């Protein structure tokens, strides 16, 4: 046991200070996408929705509905569209399932 005691002393503290202080290890985590409003056209939105493996994206009229709860941050949509980028949000706990559902306005139809 003395062996383990000394090992522990020599290692020092590794514990994160989160939530008191931010932890830079969170920078490594994959995070859900964020969308540039009004930059995605309807058919591109449909493509994105079709691309999403966890059905987190769907188009409702002129809005792209993004369900952050269903999103697995796989990054497929970010690869597919320049208007989608990693959001960097990892603190996503919600007290209501509906708070995780986001609506992003799409690019208005051309020629209207």
Partner 1 sequence: MNKDQDPLPPASTRDPMPSGEPAEAAIQDAAGELRHRIASQFGRSLHIRTLDTGSCAVCEQEIRLLTAPHYDLHRLGFFFTPAPRHADLLLVTGPMIRAFDVAARKTYEAMPGPKIVVATGACALGGVYQADAFVHGSVGEVLPVDVWIPGCPPSPFALLQGLLVAVGRLYEKVSSLPFEVAG
Partner 2 sequence: MTAVLPARFELEAAELARGGGRLADMFAAGQDPVTLHLVWALDGERRYVITSCEISGEEYPSLSDLAPAAFLEECEIYEQFGIRPANGRPLNRVVLPPHAGPGFPRLGRQPEQEPAELRAAHTVGGHAFEFPFGPVRQVGVESLYYGLVTSGEEMVDLYLFTWHKHRGLEWRLQGQDPRAALFTVERAEGLSAVAMGWAFAAAVEAAAGLEPAADVQRTRAVALELERLYNHAAATAALCAATGLSVGQSAAEIVLEKLLRLNAAAFGHRYLFGVLDTGGTRRAPDAEVLRTELPRVHDELRRAASALLATNSFADRLEATGIVTAEQAGRLGLVGPVARASGIAIDTRLTQPSPPYASHPPAIAVRKTGDVLARFEVMQDEAAESVRLIGELLDAGTASGGTEPPARAGSGLGWAESSRGEALAWVRLDDRGQIARARLRPASVRNWRGFDDACRSQNVFTDVPIIEASFWLTVAGMAR
- Given 2, 9, 13, 14, the residue binding partner 2 (CB under 8 A): 14
Give, as one character, the DSSP assignment of residue 109: P
Q: Cα–Cα distance between 38 and 110 in angstroms, integer?
A: 12
Helix (H, G, I), strand (E, B), or coil: what is residue 85? strand
Query: Applying CB under 8 A, does 25 fall inside the site for partner 1?
Result: yes
Query: Applying CB under 8 A, does 77 fall inside the site for partner 1?
Result: no
Nearer to partner 2, 15 or 95 (CB): 15
Q: For residues 102 and 63, is the Cβ–Cβ distance under 8 A?
A: no
Q: Cα–Cα distance between 102 and 69 in angstroms, integer?
A: 10
Report in angstroms how near the CB of residue 111 gets to partner 1 at its nearest.
25
- Given 2, 14, 21, 112, the residue binding partner 1 (CB under 8 A): 14
Nearer to partner 2, 2 or 95 (CB): 2
DSSP run (H or E) holding 49: helix 42-51
Q: Cα–Cα distance between 66 and 59 in angstroms, integer?
A: 9
- Given 25, 61, 91, 95, the residue binding partner 2 (CB under 8 A): 25
Q: Which residues bind partner 2 (CB under 8 A)?
A: 1, 3-4, 7-8, 11, 14, 25, 28-30, 53-54, 72, 74-75, 79
């Amino acid at each position: 046991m003395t062996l383990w005691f000394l090992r522990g002393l020599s290692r020092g503290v590794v514990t994160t200070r989160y939530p008191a202080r931010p932890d830079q290890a969170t920078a490594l985590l994959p995070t859900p996408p964020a969308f540039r409003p009004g930059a995605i056209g309807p058919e591109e939105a449909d493509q994105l929705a079709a691309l999403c493996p966890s059905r987190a994206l769907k188009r409702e009229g002129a809005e792209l509905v993004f369900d952050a709860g269903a999103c697995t941050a796989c990054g497929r949509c970010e690869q597919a569209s320049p208007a989608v980028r990693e959001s960097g949000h990892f603190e996503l706990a919600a007290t209501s399932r509906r708070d995780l559902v986001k609506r992003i306005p799409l690019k208005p139809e051309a020629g209207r």
